[in-house]
Amino acid sequence: MNTVSTVNTANTANTVRTPARTVGLDHAAIGADGWCRQARRYDSPNCDARPEGVAVELLVIHAISLPAGRFGGPHIADLFTNRLDFAFDPSFADLRGVTVSAHFLVRRDGAVLQFVSCNERAWHAGVSCFGGRDQCNDFSVGIEMEGSDHVAFSPAQYQSLAVLSVALGSRYPLAVLAGHEHIAPGRKTDPGPFFRWENLAESMLTCAGQSGFPPPAGGARLVVAHRLVAALCALINVNGCTRKK
């Protein structure tokens, strides 16, 4: 998903206020059923079975806000569960008939929501290709970060995303992490220029170390993948290339 507005306020009646206590993940585990017990569960109908014999090898990071650039409301969860009030904002008219979901959403305060079992295929990537393979939904887990192309992500979001990524690497043979912009170049730009891949890599190493156990193989591979993607993004910026929608 992509966002384009720089506005950073939500309608008062629909704002979920950040509590004083930390609500982000400090630990997580993915069960054999593909659900994270530490996340808030909101079942989405927008999913189906993965192709038989296809392993979960790719972790895709997205960014989303509804309405664009406004944070804290219920609209993302409503979109993923087909309950969006199209009359709330004129921009929602473009979403009529759209059936999408992600496996997880990480809120600005670090709270994590889960919509689809990781054992199933969520409809998050759209037309996509990675490593010469089309249809990334078949072999990926999708995580939406509440944010936009114009606003920095919060420390609580990096913390929760790191914990969740390490947990996913412990359950599945994840080997690669990419942004939506990397699997749909020219069509998508998220998670965007304000997403700091190096921050996520450092947070993942910290999370693995705090667990008291050696980093799981999947988690270790993901840390390397983070750094490779960060290096690639830095090279693109140095060369002055631009990434378009």
Question: 153-212 pLDDT, tens per residue?
Answer: 999 999 999 999 989 988 999 988 899 999 999 999 999 999 998 888 888 888 876 654
User: Contact 77/65 with Cβ under 8 angstroms?
Assistant: no
Cα(98)–Cα(51) distance, integer angstroms: 23
Range of 9-23, 115-129, 221-235 with top mean pLDDT: 115-129
| Distances in whole angstroms, Cα of residue 11 to Cα of each of 72, 77, 81, 150, 239 | 9, 16, 21, 19, 40
pLDDT score, position 39: 98
pLDDT of residue 95: 97
* Catalytic residue selected from 57, 120, 144, 181: 144
Burial of 205 (0-12, 13-18, 19+ CB in 10 A): middle
C-alpha 163/C-alpha 30 separation (Å) is 11
Amino acid in the structure at residue 128: S
Averaged over 101-105, what is the pLDDT?
98
User: Residue 242 above 50 pLDDT?
Assistant: no
- Give the list of residues 6+ apart from residue 147 with CB closer than 8 angstroms, or none: 3, 63, 64, 65, 71, 108, 153, 157, 191, 192, 194, 195
H-helix segments, the chain: 75-80, 155-171, 180-183, 197-210, 217-238
Q: Which of 196, 206, 233 is nearest to 63 (CA)?
A: 196
Residue 150: band (very low, low, confident or very high) from pLDDT cuts 50, 70, 90: very high
Span 66-87, average pLDDT? 97
Concerning whether 144 is annotated as a catalytic residue, the answer is: yes
Q: Is the pLDDT of residue 12 over 50?
A: no
Is 80 exceeded by the pLDDT of residue 228? no
Checking if the pLDDT of 65 tops 70, the result is: yes
pLDDT-based confidence at 149, cuts 50/70/90? very high
Give CA–CA dist 158/161, Å, rounded. Answer: 5
| Residues 129 and 183: beta-carbon distance below 8 Å | yes
Confidence of residue 141 (pLDDT cuts 50, 70, 90): very high
**In angstroms, what CA-CA distances link 170 with 110, 119, 174, 214?**
21, 14, 9, 11
